Amino acid sequence: MENEVKLTAGAMVTLGLATAALVVLPYIQVRDVPAPEGLKPYTSAELRGRAVYIANGCVYCHTQQPRDKSFGPDAERGWGRATVPGDYTYDRPHLLGSMRTGPDLMNIGVRQPSRDWHLGHLYQPRAYVPGSIMPAYPYLFDIKDKAEPGEEALKLPPGYAPAGKVVVATPDAQDLVKYLQALNRSYPVLPPEPRDAAGAAAPAATPASAS
Amino acid sequence: MDSAVMSLLGAFLLSIIGLFVFIWSMRKGLLMENPRAASVIFAQGEIGKVDDPALHAGHRAQLQAAAAEPGDTLHPPDAQEISQRIEADRSSAFPVFMFVAFACLWLVLGSVAGLTASLKLHMPDWLVSEAWMTFGRIRTVHLTAVLYGWITNASLGVIVWLLPRLLRTPLMGAMWVMLGGALINVAIASGIGAIGAGWTDGMEYLEMPWQIGLFIVAGMVCIIGPVLYTLVNRKVESLYVTVWYHVAALLWITLLFLVAKLPGVHYGVQQATMNWWYGHNVLGLWFTPVSVGAIYYFLPKVIARPVRSYNLSILGFWTLAFFYAQVGGHHLVGGPVPGWLVTLSIVQSMMMIIPVAAFSINMAGTMRGRMRLALRSPTLRFMMFGGLMYMLSSVQGSFEALRSINQITHFTHFTVAHAHLGAYGFVTMVLFGAIYFMMPRVLNWEWPYPRLITLQFWLAAVGILIYFVGLSIGGWLQGEYMLDAARPFMDSVAVTLPWLKSRSLGGALMVASQIVFVGHFLAMALRFGPARTGAALFRAGAHTLEVAHGK
């Protein structure tokens, strides 16, 4: 009798410890982090675009977490400052990612603000980045004889548009581009708390960590 | 309180508790060697009698001759215990067949999807016209099909087959187990359909929408009930270490999945830590304990010698449970998460060397002087390969967690190579071996073409080695190029291309091995091939041995 009790109880205790450390404590720590002032909630079009990003698994090749200078030249590549937990306040699900088959996208909206570039790049990445191994996404576009009223033909580099036809972005593609353009975490955030008394110049900026 | 102080205090308290547990276990004599517990997988008089149902009689006699050692006395095994085992096997046969059949189905689908995804990485304009074919979806179909479809089904088959044997009790509530299996496979099928259609929860390893995930939880509960009931009503006195690993693993995966899938709780950065808590523990607390537990049964069983040190195996169990569970955070080294969390996970990653060493020393001790038996027994070959890969991938994982190495390998194909070394080189190979051992007993039929087993082993082994070596080199170079700010990012893509192609080559060999395996399984299930009847072990007289002992 002792054996199976020891087995189940022990198994639950070890899992409980791990859950406390990796799930509950971070939850408590992050729960009360306010959104930084510069961060706006996603608009509904951006959220729809985010859903397209998720549905097509963009996260498997692109991270959204530029790292600190001490960890790699992310900032030097123009990918932006290291992110802080507050930057992800509105992200459900999180899209931090684990792979950089392609570049980090956290600030792609700053680096590449052009809507035309994004649409064309989604239609055929190799038209803009030779050697890219990103898949083309032709199913996000319609190929027509001519654009209908209210529609806009893609401005593709010469040789990439189908002969005699025009390429028109579907609503999915337009939303996705709006989401990519909204990926902008370039607003300033508070630097980490100073370790010594040297930075006593800003008494008002003490975060409320009274507990 | 400062979180760093808090975590230090927590670590201190834990060490004190650990010390007390250690002192207590010394007093209880738990560290005394216990050869009786290690021999519980054998019937009375069975030690020294090899067992590999994947062989036919002639080859089994050769294996027996090769395994004979001075001092062996060959009594016929205790008839009552053997009949208990036959009864136990009979009680689980139908659910086990169901799990293995589903596992084979998903294995073929999942590996074809995996090869497609691999090819797409160096042929980016191939198969792009439909949304479900795009890389992000096919890759995820691959992951879901092999992780949940193949490994989970096959693991459940192994667990459900082994527990009644080890407990010397017929499986109670087999119908519930079948129902659970049906629910789980409904969820896997719907999950794969949903991902193909673009409906996903969007987190790695947790893509299956939570509405579908509910079926997985319900299915696991249906399986855990009968398993625990069988455990409580067991006829054997001491629990063999495999039971520890397998029962704990069932409980762990169910709770992990349940917590991870709770809707509306996780968001932002906390969700990322939860994601990796789950993502790593599904390997550490589900695949690993199932496979390690299987090795602890099959390897001694085939060579007919109890495992070298029973206590070392129990030590391995508890340290695995404790350390592995907290490893996940190292996936976020350098990420926007609290520093203490990453440090904790790195420390625990290094601590993982303890259970791995316990396992490896134990297995090396058990196999000492008997390595040559692998030439004759397919089950043993798969188990030894898997055990070796367990050691390699775990040690590699421990070092990969260190900041200096992680800096290079993080976000690169190196991690993918490492994951495949664990999930394929270790877990899948062990499951192959276990299935080769189990199926003749489950189906009362021998494997029709034993040569195919050898062929499959070499295709799989060579395939995974090409895959792993190539992709590791490619991933390492990719990481170094990315860290060099003077190089444009595109260089880090270009440098991986030849290695991505080598991955496709290795992957193709692995797919070929899978097709051989599943084809052979089908032939067996449909009773094709040379006619042989009777489960290998139980054929009358097959084991009243001709081998002279003390030769």
Lowest mean pLDDT among A80-84, A157-161, B54-58: B54-58
Question: Contact A17/B248, CB-based, under 8 Å?
Answer: no
Q: How far is A97 from chain B (nearest CA, A)?
A: 8
What pLDDT sits at residue B545? 34
* Helix, strand, coil percent content, chain B, rounded in steps of 5: 75, 0, 25
A·B CB contacts under 8 A: 226
Query: Looking at residues B13-24, what average pLDDT do you find?
Result: 75
Judge whether B548 and B542 are in contact, CB under 8 Å. no
Quick: pLDDT tens for B483-502. Answer: 999 999 999 999 999 999 99
Shortest CA gap B429–chain A (Å) = 26
CA–CA distance, B207 with B429 (Å, rounded to integer):
25
Confidence of residue B532 (pLDDT cuts 50, 70, 90): low
| Closest B-chain CA to A211 | B1
- Alpha helices, DSSP H only, in chain A? 2-19, 25-31, 44-55, 108-111, 115-123, 171-182
pLDDT value for A143: 93
Nearest CA distance, A101 vs chain B (angstrom): 7
Contact between A133 and B124 using a beta-carbon 8 Å cutoff: yes
More confident position, A200 or A22 = A22
Name which of B246, B270, B288 to mutate to probe chain A: the one with the most chain A Cβ atoms within 10 A of its Cβ: B270
Question: pLDDT tens for residues B434-482?
Answer: 999 999 999 888 898 989 999 999 999 999 999 999 999 999 999 999 9
Residue A55: is its pLDDT beyond 90? yes
Contact B100, B106 (CB under 8 A): no
Is residue A79 pLDDT above 50, yes or no?
A: yes
The predicted structure's pLDDT at residue B79: 86
Question: Considering chain B, what is the average pLDDT of its residues?
Answer: 89
Copy the structure tokens of residue A91: 């992200």
- CATH number attached to the domain at B3-526: 1.20.210.10
Q: Which of B136, B201, B333 sits opposite A93 (nearest CB)?
A: B201
List the 71-110 stretch of A: residues with Cβ below 8 A of B: 71-73, 76-77, 82-85, 87-103
B335-352 per-position pLDDT tens digit: 888 888 888 889 889 989
Delimit the domains of chain A by residue range: 37-182
Domain topology for A37-182: Cytochrome Bc1 Complex; Chain D, domain 2 (1.10.760)
Mean pLDDT of A55-64: 96
A92 DSSP assignment: S
pLDDT of residue B292: 96
Is some CB atom of chain B closer than 8 A to the CB atom of A2? no
pLDDT of A161 > 90? The answer is no
List CB contacts (< 8 A) between A73 and chain B.
Answer: 483-485
Please report the residues numbered 136 through 195 in chain A whose beta carbons come closer than 8 angstroms to any beta carbon of chain B: 136-139
Q: What is the pLDDT of residue A24?
A: 87
B490 to A131: CB separation less than 8 angstroms, yes or no? yes
Count of CA atoms in the C-beta half-sphere (13 A) of B193: 7
Bridge partners (DSSP) of residue A153 are: A168
As a whole-number percent, the residues of chain A with pLDDT over 70 amount to: 89
- What percentage of chain B reaches a pLDDT higher than 90? 65
**At A167, is the pLDDT very low, low, confident or very high (cuts 50, 70, 90)?**
very high
CA dihedral angle for residue B471, residue B476, residue B481, residue B485, rounded to 10 degrees: 140
> Do the chains contact at B416 and A22, CB–CB below 8 Å?
no
- pLDDT for the residue A177: 97
Q: Which residue of B has its CA nearest to A75?
A: B485
Q: Which of A29-38, A122-131, A154-163, B217-226 has the lowest mean pLDDT?
A: A29-38
- pLDDT beyond 50 at B391: yes
Could you give the percent of chain B with pLDDT greater than 70?
93
Query: Would you say B90 and B170 are in contact if contact means Cβ atoms under 8 Å apart?
Result: yes
Burial class (CB in 10 A: 0-12, 13-18, 19+), A37: exposed
In chain A, % of residues over pLDDT 90: 56
Asked if residues B393 and B430 have their Cβ atoms less than 8 Å apart, the reply is no
Look at B271 and A21 and tell me if their CB atoms are within 8 Å. no
- Cβ pair A73:B483 closer than 8 A: yes
CA distances from A198 to A191, A193, A194, B2 (A): 14, 11, 8, 20
Residues 15-34 of A with CB under 8 A from B: 15, 17-19, 21-23, 25-27, 29-31
Parse chain B into domains and list their residue ranges.
3-526
Give the amino acid at B90.
R
What does the pLDDT read at residue A211? 37
Distance from CA of B159 to the nearest CA of A (A): 16
**pLDDT in the model for residue A192:** 54
Identify which has the larger pLDDT, B55 or B108: B108
Q: Write out pLDDT tens, residues B240-269.
A: 999 999 999 999 999 999 999 998 888 888
Chain A residue numbers with beta carbons less than 8 Å from the beta carbon of B414 are: none
Q: Does A35 touch chain B (CB under 8 A)?
A: no
> CB distance from A59 to chain B under 8 Å?
yes
Contact of B204 with chain A, judged by CB distance below 8 Å, is answered with: yes
For residue B447, give the nearest of B435, B457, B458 by alpha carbon. Answer: B435
Q: Are B468 and B417 in contact (CB under 8 A)?
A: yes
The pLDDT score that the predictor gives to residue B483 is 94
The pLDDT of B117-138, averaged and rounded, is 95
Average pLDDT over residues B24-28: 70
Which of these ranges, B211-215, B383-387, B529-533, has the smallest mean pLDDT? B529-533
Q: State the CB neighbour count (10 A cutoff) for residue B20.
A: 10
Separation between Cα atoms, residue B102 and residue B120, nearest integer Å? 27
Of A29, A94, A98, nearest to B3 by CB-CB distance is A29
Flag whether pLDDT at A201 surpasses 60: no
- How confident is the model over B176-204, as pLDDT tens digits? 999 999 999 999 999 999 999 999 999 99
Separation in Å, CA of A96 to nearest CA in chain B: 7
Average pLDDT in chain A: 86
The answer, yes or no, to whether residue B288 has pLDDT greater than 60, is yes
Put simply, whether B338 touches A (Cβ < 8 Å) is yes
Residue A36 touches chain B, beta carbons under 8 Å: no
Q: Residues 272 to 301 of B: which have CB under 8 A from any A CB?
A: 272-277, 281, 285
Per-residue pLDDT for B72 more than 60? yes
* Nearest chain A Cα distance for residue B546, angstroms: 40
pLDDT class for A179, splitting at 50, 70, 90?
very high
Please determine, for residue B334, whether its predicted confidence score (pLDDT) is greater than 90. Answer: no
Q: Is B294 exposed, middle or buried (0-12, 13-18, 19+ CB in 10 A)?
A: buried
pLDDT at B429 > cutoff 90: yes
